[in-house]
Amino acid sequence: KAGVTQTPRYLIKTRGQQVTLSCSPISGHRSVSWYQQTPGQGLQFLFEYFSETQRNKGNFPGRFSGRQFSNSRSEMNVSTLELGDSALYLCASSWMTSGSYNEQFFGPGTRLTVL
């Protein structure tokens, strides 16, 4: 089975721009979660989608948004980029049952640099 894939792997943007990252889950997985990793804050949960619906959200501003398509692929968007948005963005997929997460499998990440 193919693992979780993320595109692009590296991205350089300037302040004020917007960016869209993509995540394709493991076949059959319907839950996709997104995380931000920075040296200062560590790994932080952004949001989680299940069957095209956002089920849970972390403590991030509204500039961070996402969506999930009917094939379970997910995208996250960051608008009006700030320098502090420079980070490794990771997505994970799982075979989520109702109300509880099962084992999470992570993609290789997208490293975003904001200049």
Rounded-to-integer distance, Cα 110 and Cα 27, Å: 20
Options 20, 22, 37, 65; binder of another protein; rule CB under 8 A: 37
- Which range, of 19-27, 34-42, 67-75, 77-85, touches another protein by CB under 8 A? 34-42
Residue 11 makes contact with another protein by CB under 8 A: no
Single-letter amino acid code for the residue at 37: Q
- 10 Å Cβ neighbour count for 44? 14
Rounded-to-integer distance, Cα 93 and Cα 48, Å: 9
1 touches 27 (CB < 8 A): yes
Shortest separation between residue 16's beta carbon and another protein, angstroms: 26
How many residues bind to another protein according to rule CB under 8 A?
A: 24
Residues found near another protein in the complex (CB under 8 A): 33, 35, 37, 42-45, 48, 55-56, 58, 88, 90, 92, 100-106, 108-109, 111
